[in-house]
Amino acid sequence: MAQKTLSIIQIIIALLLMITILLQQRGSEMGSLFGGGGGGDNVYRAKRGIEKILFRATIILAALFLGTAFVGMII
């Protein structure tokens, strides 16, 4: 029973993780994905607003996913 519940939790976390990653990628150009910059945009800029929330949510969801994966190996 615990294994089934853990599997469902992992699926939900994985889906949320995919959504947060895809939402972050929506704002970037295709050239920047492969190392190219566009028009001097290679300057560091701080994450603000929803971008910052998505970034932190991605880190938290990734940590939760890894944690549940390790717990799943033990059970």
Dist. CA 73–CA 75, nearest whole Å:
6
In a domain, 9, yes or no: yes
The CA distances from residue 42 to 25, 31, 32, 37, 73, in Å, are 16, 12, 9, 6, 42
Structure confidence at residue 47 (pLDDT): 79
Please tell me the total count of domains within the chain. 1
pLDDT tens digits for range 43-59: 667 778 899 999 999 99
Burial of 63 (0-12, 13-18, 19+ CB in 10 A): exposed
In a domain, 67, yes or no: yes
What would the two tokens of residue 20 be?
């947060």
In a domain, 32, yes or no: no
In a domain, 71, yes or no: yes
In a domain, 59, yes or no: yes
Structure confidence at residue 32 (pLDDT): 54
Total-model pTM? 0.74
Report, as ranges of residue numbers, the positions in the chain whose pLDDT lies below 50.
30-31
In a domain, 37, yes or no: no
Residues counted in the chain: 75
**Domain enclosing residue 71, as ranges:** 1-25+47-75
